[in-house]
Amino acid sequence: MKDLHVTWNEYHRLIEQLIAQVYESGYKFDAILCLARGGLRIGDVVSRVYDMPLAILAASSYREAAGTEQGHLDIGEFITKTGGEIAGKVLLLDDLVDSGVTMARVIEHLKQRFPAIEEVRTAVLWYKAVSTFRPDYFVQYLDSSPWIHQPFEEYDALRPNQVAARLRGRQPA
């Protein structure tokens, strides 16, 4: 499989399946941490369903070739969270593990910088066979390494003037 195209409905269903999987595992966590940008939408839904605050850590590596090639990994220095320091058992969310480098390095970063974190479990929608890291929870195992076209990617190529023009074109005269 070269490419995997995901609709909004499929995307939301995958998030619900991930929530059910974590719930049915019995894992009790103290904090929800998502990786921005890929884990933001997932983290938002999970935090709403669990009625818990969402913590956010920025991490970015897909900036080369218009976001299709992995480059240097940057991990944010701080976690954004309401209600104090992140501590205890953490559920770490992202959209996928591709090579596994990001998830492994983020966990190492968390252990080094946030000693109040006791345990980290990971949850993603897609787990690729090429990954060197196995997430604790995943919805789809991909035995190949397709490029995953997520429904929000249409915004990657749009600029503000294009959005404004698109909206003007839809308005009645």
All structural domains of the chain with their residue ranges: 3-170
What pLDDT is recorded for position 62? 55
For the domain made up of 3-170, the CATH class stated in words is alpha beta
pLDDT tens for 6-49 read: 999 999 999 999 999 999 999 999 999 999 999 999 999 999 99
**In this structure, which long-range contacts are made by residues 21-30, counting pairs with CB atoms below 8 Å and at least 24 apart in sequence?**
21/123, 21/137, 21/139, 22/46, 22/91, 22/123, 22/137, 25/137, 27/89, 27/91, 27/121, 27/136, 28/89, 29/88, 29/89, 29/90, 29/91, 29/121, 30/87, 30/88, 30/89, 30/90
**pTM reported for the whole predicted model:** 0.89
d(CA 37, CA 93): 11
pLDDT above 70: residue 64? no
CB 38 within 8 A of CB 96: yes
Report residue 172's pLDDT band, with 50, 70 and 90 as the boundaries.
very low
